């Protein structure tokens, strides 16, 4: 199969990752150990669940704490996929807010920690460093998900997620 075909057929990795991240965030109080220390991953006030079957509507949850809500898990029980979520990541008292999108896998509406530089060139560099830092945290967590899929006990993780969704 060509790379382009794999990109399409494995697009579900992004949706699974987001679901895995949501469950992990709720079950571990948002605390993740990554290569360079401890970070907090908190699901914010915006989640979108998409039904991929014909005639299925999307469920958009906004305001409050949708990640903790029954409605959010109900959407999954209805067979919908988490395709968009606003997430806050905290590291060393600095916070990034990002909407993680799955189709295509992309970062949207990113809010960076305060940028201190005043001149455009310096501003660009500072913003790029902060974005690179955010990407490295997200890529690390994504790699952890893939690692669990490949070498971990994915069956147990899946059972845990299914129990949590159904309760």
Partner 1 sequence: MGVVSGNISYRRYWVSRSPGKADILTALNGRRFRGLLQDEDQAVGWAPVGRLIDPVSIDFGYDIFMASYAAFALRRDRWAVPASLLKSRVDESLHMWLLQTGNKKIPAYVRIEAKDTAQALLRREALPKPQVVDIVWDLQSNIVKVWSLSKEVNELFDALFNLTFKDVGLIPLTAYTIAISNKDKPSIDEINGIEACSFTKPRE
Q: How many residues bind partner 1 (CB under 8 A)?
A: 49
Q: How far apart are CA 60 and CA 50, in angstroms?
A: 9
Residues 49, 86 contacting (CB under 8 angstroms) = no
Q: How far apart are CA 51 and CA 68, in angstroms?
A: 20
H/E element, 38: strand 37-50
The smaller minimum CB distance to partner 1, of residues 76 and 87, is found at 76
Q: How far apart are CA 20 and CA 158, in angstroms?
A: 9
- Pick from 107, 113, 133, 148 the residue near partner 1 by CB under 8 A: 107
Q: Is 16 in the site for partner 1 (CB under 8 A)?
A: yes
- Pick from 53, 55, 104, 114 the residue near partner 1 by CB under 8 A: 104
Residues 58, 48 contacting (CB under 8 angstroms) = yes
Return the residues of window 40-99 that contact partner 1 according to CB under 8 A: 76-77, 79, 99
What does the binding site for partner 1 look like in residue numbers (CB under 8 A)?
A: 1, 3, 6-7, 10-14, 16-17, 19, 76-77, 79, 99, 101-102, 104-112, 120-121, 123-125, 127-128, 131-132, 135, 139, 142-143, 146, 149-150, 158, 161-163, 165-166
């Amino acid at each position: 199969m060509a790379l382009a075909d794999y990109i399409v057929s494995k697009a579900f990795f992004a949706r699974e990752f987001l679901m895995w991240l949501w469950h992990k965030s709720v079950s571990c109080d948002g605390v993740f150990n990554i290569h360079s220390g401890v970070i907090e991953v908190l699901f914010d006030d915006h989640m979108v669940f998409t039904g991929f079957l014909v005639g299925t509507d999307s469920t958009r949850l906004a305001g409050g704490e949708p990640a903790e809500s029954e409605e959010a898990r109900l959407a999954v029980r209805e067979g919908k996929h988490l395709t968009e979520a606003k997430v806050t990541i905290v590291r060393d008292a600095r916070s990034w807010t990002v909407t993680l999108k799955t189709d295509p896998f992309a970062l949207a509406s990113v809010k960076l920690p305060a940028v201190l530089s005043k001149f455009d060139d310096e501003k660009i560099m500072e913003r790029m460093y902060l974005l690179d830092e955010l990407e490295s945290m997200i890529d690390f967590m994504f790699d952890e998900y893939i690692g669990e899929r490949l070498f971990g006990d994915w069956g147990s993780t899946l059972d845990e997620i299914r129990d949590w969704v159904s309760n």
